Amino acid sequence: MADKINVTVWNEFRHEVKPGIIQTIYPKGIHETIASFLRKQPDMEVRTAWLDKDKEHGLGGDVLDKTDVLIWWGHGAHDAVKDDIVEEIQGRVLNGMGFIALHSSHLSKPFKKLMGTSGSLVWREKAEKSHVWCVNPYHPIARGIPQVIELAHEEMYGEFFDIPTPDDQVFISWFEGGEVFRSGNCWHRGKGKIFYFQPGHETFPIYHNPEIQAVITNAVRWCKFEGSTDTRLIGTCPNSNFTLNPLSDPNKREEDYDF
């Protein structure tokens, strides 16, 4: 059997500790809700971390080194994430760790660092209907996903979404007010894969939806690094003395040429 995918689900975990609708929907936190359905997958090992777990937000030590795919949910405390942790996440993605940014993580430090853009958009919280349209049914993330996922209530996200042009567009969402939004996007950074998925406002039970769960599960498998681990020339910028064919006059210098 192939090695299991080591998944870390990270969440701010600040909304859910306060009494109210969010705590009712996610009594153990958004991270545990996501982790619980991923743990049912025989090819996944899942751990959780959150903002106030410790001084490193639960991502210190060898956690990131042992993470194949990092799932990130952030909302109101983006600035509280330490910059050195963000730098480490970026480095791990460049070296092959997958990164899945959910919902309002479009403004998270790791996502903006990886995108190189502001991640800004327009939004409206009116509990309106949303249709998540699959526009790339041949993509691995779309495996087993219906043509449209119907959500009774969701926060509206609208264009312009300030992101680099995606390498692959898997989902586009429509909202009751008439807006559309690029809601499922894929990128490659170095050896790492990145997926942004819009559904997931904290006051609605989005992560209890089986179809949303299936998208995230597929995304974990897609984000897992598959390929050569040869890094001999990555990040070193070496002067090469290797040639396939002998040079005609290897000792001739630029100043020896007549121009």
pLDDT in tens, 196-214: 999 999 999 999 999 999 9
Task: Please state whether beta strands 69-73 and 98-102 pair in parallel, antiparallel, or not at all (unpaired).
Answer: parallel
Task: Please state whether beta strands 180-189 and 168-175 pair in parallel, antiparallel, or not at all (unpaired).
Answer: antiparallel
Tell me the mean pLDDT in the region 224-237: 75
User: d(Cα 175, Cα 147) in Å, to the nearest integer?
Assistant: 16
Q: What is the SS3 assignment for 148?
A: strand
Tell me the mean pLDDT in the region 101-130: 98
pLDDT band per the 50, 70, 90 thresholds, residue 2: low
User: d(Cα 8, Cα 133) in Å, to the nearest integer?
Assistant: 27
pTM: 0.93
Q: In the structure encoding, which two tokens stand for residue 82, read together? A: 């330490």
Tell me the mean pLDDT in the region 148-176: 98
What residue ranges define each of the domains in the chain, with the CATH number in brackets?
A: 5-116+182-227 (3.40.50.880)
Q: Is the pLDDT of residue 250 over 70?
A: no
